[in-house]
Amino acid sequence: MAGKPKLHYPKGRGRMESVRWLLAAAGVEFEEEFIETKEDLEKLRSSESVNCLLNINLHQYNKRKMLNKNICFRIDMYVEGTTDLMGMIMYIPFQPAESKEKNLALIIERATARYFPVYEKALKDHGHGYLVGNKLSWADIHLLEAILMTEECKPDILSAFPLLQAFKGRISNIPTIKKFLQPGSQRKPVADEKFIARVKEIFSM
């Protein structure tokens, strides 16, 4: 793929944040063109630039086809779990104020009783410091992203999961990821009211 990939999205996390994580972890420099208005969105939909993210995904898919099918299955399985957890967190700011506290408690309960025990056990059983195989994969990057998001909800949420604590420290210190976690990187902050209002207007929510 010639040149730097360009990501088109409102200026915040959303579902694009995981793509930023993947590119940053792989050491791939990328550009961003932020969608600020409905007109920006319509212009993007009618242009060829919308194919950029598709091309990134196809490139990753073609690389993964060369991997062992069992490894691919396990990576997808772990990613699906963290995607579910992050999806719940992602939509909290868009929910009515009266339901936020209840849903936040549900997220914390599910993270500590359903999701994190699975990943803690996976790390223990696998014994290689990674979720799959003996090197970094999409599953590891996605899990770190999920951990950091849940810690923003409850800072001590990993207190009962020593292997996940060690995993977090280990993966966070991989040079490309460490760089992405530093202030001034292309990592986006927690959604604020301004971002929420902009997204609602752009997508007519």
Q: Where are the domains of the chain?
A: 6-58+181-196, 69-174
Q: What is the reported pTM?
A: 0.88
Q: Is 182 exposed, middle or buried (0-12, 13-18, 19+ CB in 10 A)?
A: exposed
Position 59 pLDDT exceeds 60: no
Q: Give 5's pLDDT tier (boundaries 50, 70, 90).
A: confident
Q: Which CATH superfamily is domain 6-58+181-196 in?
A: Glutaredoxin (3.40.30.10)
Query: In percent, how much of the chain has pLDDT > 90?
Result: 74
130-150 pLDDT per residue, tens = 999 888 999 999 999 999 999
Q: How far is the C-alpha of 10 from the C-alpha of 199, rounded, in Å? A: 7
Q: 108-135 pLDDT, tens per residue? A: 999 999 999 999 999 999 988 999 988 8
Phi and psi at residue 89, to the nearest 5°: -65, -40
Q: Cβ distance 37 to 204 under 8 Å? A: no
**Separation CA 149–CA 31 (nearest Å):** 24
Output the pLDDT for position 55. 47
Domain 69-174 CATH (choose: 3.40.640.10, 3.40.190.10, 3.90.1200.10, 1.20.1050.10):
1.20.1050.10
Q: What is the mean pLDDT of residues 28-46?
A: 92
Residue 87 is predicted with a pLDDT of: 95
